[in-house]
Amino acid sequence: MATATPRDRLLAAAADLFYREGITATGVERLCSVAGVSKRTMYQLFPTKDVLVAEALAATGPATNASFLPDDAEVDPRERILHIFRVLEKTAERPQFAGCQFVNTASDLRDPEHPAAAVARGFKQQLTDWFAAEARTGGAADPDLLARQLTVVFDGSAARAVVHHAGLDGLSVTTATALLDAAGVR
């Protein structure tokens, strides 16, 4: 951390605080204090908090999505899709789980035109596109529909874990399985 640049420290503090405490809840003062950077320096690096919000999400989004993906050793499309939900189940069991960071960003900002809302939308679409490609390989009747359905299960399951502050107990895997069966992905 000592050798990280002020820019990297700000992005890391932002990603952490925005996820744990929320974007609106995190003021610039607190952000700079946690990053160990002056407000003057912050505003030299990021013209507004909104820009920092978008850049912090853009910086962490790829790793977030990647953390759910199976490795190449798993080749069966059905198993590759279910892997995502098995990781979600494990992730949702952590006490610090606060939901999907992309959904949270869109919801917290309440502004679809915000630059970070566009970034969030892009990362959610990446997951849906990944589901669609796997569904196509797996012979789904309607791969794009199945992909949207699986994304709904992903986000609805995450919401449930937040609302009940409890693990999912297999619910997301069971629901995804029912939709894979219905779409003919065996």
Q: Give residues in contact with its own copies (CB under 8 A).
A: 20-22, 24-25, 98-100, 102-104, 106-108, 110, 112, 117, 120-121, 124, 145, 148-149, 151-157, 159-160, 162-165, 171-172, 174-175, 178-179, 181-182
Q: Where are the beta strands (DSSP E) in the chain?
A: none
Length of the chain: 186
CB nearer its own copies, residue 136 or residue 160: 160
Residue type at position 5: T
* Least distance (Å) between residue 40 CB and its own copies: 26
Burial 156-181 (b: 16+ CB within 10 A, else e): ebbebbbeeeebbeebbbebbbebbe
Closest approach of its own copies to the CB of residue 152, in Å: 4
* Residue 160 C-beta: closest distance to its own copies, Å: 6
3-class DSSP state of 159: helix
Q: Which of 36, 40, 164, 37 is nearest to 92 (CA)?
A: 164
Minimum CB distance to its own copies, residue 14 (Å): 16
Q: Which is nearer to its own copies, 40 or 110 (CB)?
A: 110
CA distance 52 to 6: 13
**94 vs 164, which CB is nearer to its own copies?**
164
- The residue (of 37 and 173) whose beta carbon lies closer to its own copies is 173
Nearer to its own copies, 37 or 91 (CB): 91
99: left (phi over 0), alpha (psi -120 to 50) or beta: left
